[in-house]
A = this chain, B = another copy of it.
């Protein structure tokens, strides 16, 4: 197998970027099967055969998009480090994840779509690379628990809960904005969410004493 990237002209690089950007928009709102090559081509400002000159199959676009996504998507977790104060580390992990939901909602939805449908294309990666990474970070968290820096609990489910609460603001954005209404559903909702999540994860709901 040849792992080297194919040589590409300047035009090819630019057009491929254009297509991927358009495809991200279309796939993330319609899902894979719900999106058509024509839609992507139009969003990218080119004809369908022209698009197929750069990506020979619809699936190739999706696959390329997915590979790129996964790298950046797990970056915040990779940064979770053993140096520094545990509570501060966790707090900034939550903050980073929430910022990703705010700044890259389309990527979040693309990922959610894939998982919802049973992750047919990335299951191996979930069971391999992702599991390894999470296990590794769970061990770090367990160390913090042993040291009494944070409460003893299940590190895996802790990570799940951080994923769930932060990605919720990207994946369920329509619902969040609908429920908050016009006045509170504006740009401030991410700051409100950040404040709430910090409080929840650090102190919970039970009053002191």
Contacts and interface: CB of A to CB of B under 8 A. Distances in A.
A115 B172 contact: yes
Contact of A203 (B32, B117, B158, B206): B206
A192 B32 contact: no
A206 B202 CA distance: 5
A164 B172 contact: yes
Interface residues of A, number: 63
B195 A130 contact: no
Contact of A118 (B117, B174, B179): B174
Contacts of A180: 156
Interface string A173-205: 011101111001000000011011101111111
The main secondary structure of chain A at its interface with chain B is helix
A175 B206 contact: no
Contact of A174 (B126, B168, B199): B126
Given A179-B156, A202-B205, A117 B30 contact: yes
Contacts of A196: 153-154, 157-158, 161
A117 B178 contact: no
Interface stretch (A9-17, A41-49, A144-152): A144-152
A100 interface: no
A207 B134 contact: no
A148 B207 contact: yes
A205 B87 contact: yes
Interface string A127-163: 1001100100000000000001111011011101101
A30 to B, nearest CB: 7
Nearest to A148: B207
Pairs A-B, 3 closest by C-beta atoms: A204-B204, A33-B34, A164-B168
